[in-house]
């Protein structure tokens, strides 16, 4: 029997399934069916049927406590996104980690966020808030500021006109100040953030350029007590970004980069310019 809520056709069903999966974005733990229904704004009965189907397929898995998490099949499928980019970049990220012994990140732009596609880290080092597949605000991260600086002026203006997130008390949200910061990143070719995303942390990032476009960004994250090390570490970060860019020019990774980032649900306004939230890193 067809659910009465599905009478609008298959697109309605697909939208509901996507709404259920979207509830797990940014969720650190597991969710109950009731919690999923509330987040997805769906009836519990409808949610229960969707969750059961997703569990059967492997997109979700049920824990012993009756709560649900993303399933291994969906996780495995998601790992295919950006795989060729990671394959090209990862040896250089590992080299940077070996050289500095600091946490290393690789990110692309996904709409209004930095999407983290790879990282190399030491569990004994400073804990970091990013995770592979995680998304953080562009203005609050060094990789994000690099990616934001690569966008056209109209994009930056529209981004800064939003109500900006403030992950820490030190996060800069003043549009005028951020506009000057972005101008500095464009001029200097790197970004340094102090306690913008996490208290006690510094991030140092540089752009990865392919065919004259910034397609990704690489960064180190280290303790605020090492602020005096920024100038010493900057050439290593910049050199790593340049090496990744050269490795990409040696193959077809650039075409893949434009398919790495999935469509985003972020929106500026109804009259936004075309391409603002395209799947490419732009």
Structure confidence at residue 254 (pLDDT): 39
Alpha-carbon torsion (79, 85, 88, 91), positive or negative = negative
| pTM, two decimal places | 0.64
Question: Is 249 in contact with 243 (CB distance < 8 Å)?
Answer: no
Beta strands in 86-134 (DSSP E): 103-110, 113-120
**How large is the angle between the packed helices 44-57 and 33-40, nearest 10 degrees?**
110
C-alpha closest to that of 63 among 29, 34, 39, 27:
29
Question: CA 221, 99, 108: angle at the middle one, nearest 5?
Answer: 45
Domains of the chain: 4-77 (1.10.10.10), 83-257 (3.30.450.40)
Q: Is the pLDDT of residue 115 over 90?
A: no
- The pLDDT value recorded for residue 123 is 62
Residue 122 pLDDT? 74
- Per-residue model confidence (pLDDT) at position 30: 84
Q: What is the dihedral of CA 134, 54, 81, 112, to 10 degrees?
A: -40
The pLDDT of residue 257 is above 50:
no
Tell me which residue of 225, 160, 180, 173 sits closest to 199, measured CA to CA.
225
Strand order in the sheet with 103-110: 135-137, 113-120, 103-110, 213-223, 201-210, 191-194
Residue-wise pLDDT tens digits, 178-223: 999 999 999 999 999 999 988 998 999 999 988 788 888 999 998 8
Work out the mean pLDDT of the chain and round it to a whole number: 78
- Cα separations in angstroms, 232 against 76, 204, 228, 242: 38, 11, 8, 17
pLDDT, tens digit, 9 for 90 and up, residues 49-108: 998 988 888 888 888 888 988 776 665 555 554 566 677 788 899 999 999 988 999 988
Mark residue 100 as left, alpha or beta (left: phi above 0; alpha: psi -120 to 50; beta: remaining). alpha
Q: List 109's β-bridge partners, or say none.
A: 114
Query: Nearest to residue 209, comparing CAs of 168, 245, 261, 236?
Result: 245
> CA 165, CA 59: separation in Å to the nearest integer?
30
Query: Are the C-beta atoms of residues 139 and 195 closer than 8 Å to each other?
Result: no
Contacts of 262 (CB under 8 A, 6+ apart): 81, 110, 279
Contact at 8 Å (CB) between 142 and 160?
no
Over residues 132-151, mean pLDDT: 89
8-state DSSP, 216: E
DSSP state of 274: T
């Amino acid at each position: 029997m067809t659910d009465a809520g599905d009478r609008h056709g298959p697109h309605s069903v697909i939208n509901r399934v996507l709404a259920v999966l979207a509830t797990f974005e940014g969720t650190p733990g597991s969710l109950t069916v009731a919690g999923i229904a509330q987040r997805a704004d769906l009836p519990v009965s409808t949610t229960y049927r969707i969750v059961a189907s997703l569990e059967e397929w492997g997109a979700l898995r049920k824990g012993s406590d009756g709560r649900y998490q993303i399933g291994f099949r969906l996780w495995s499928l998601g790992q295919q996104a950006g795989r060729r980019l990671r394959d090209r970049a990862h040896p250089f990220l590992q080299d940077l980690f070996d050289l500095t012994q600091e946490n290393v990140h690789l990110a692309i732009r996904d709409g209004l966020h930095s999407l983290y596609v790879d990282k190399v880290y030491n569990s004994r080092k400073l804990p970091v808030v990013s995770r592979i597949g995680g998304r953080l605000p562009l203005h609050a991260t060094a990789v994000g500021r690099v990616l934001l600086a690569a966008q056209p002026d109209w994009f930056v203006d529209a981004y800064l006109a939003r109500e900006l997130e403030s992950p820490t008390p030190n996060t800069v949200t003043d549009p005028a100040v951020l506009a000057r910061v972005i101008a500095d990143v464009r001029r200097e070719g790197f970004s340094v953030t102090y306690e913008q995303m996490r208290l006690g942390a510094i991030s140092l990032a540089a752009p990865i350029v392919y065919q004259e476009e910034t397609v990704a960004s690489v960064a180190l994250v280290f303790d605020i007590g090492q602020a005096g090390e920024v100038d010493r570490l900057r050439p290593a970060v910049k050199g790593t970004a340049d090496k990744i860019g050269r490795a990409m020019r040696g193959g077809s990774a650039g075409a893949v980069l434009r398919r790495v980032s999935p469509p985003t649900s972020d929106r500026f306004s109804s009259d936004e310019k075309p391409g603002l939230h395209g799947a490419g890193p732009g």
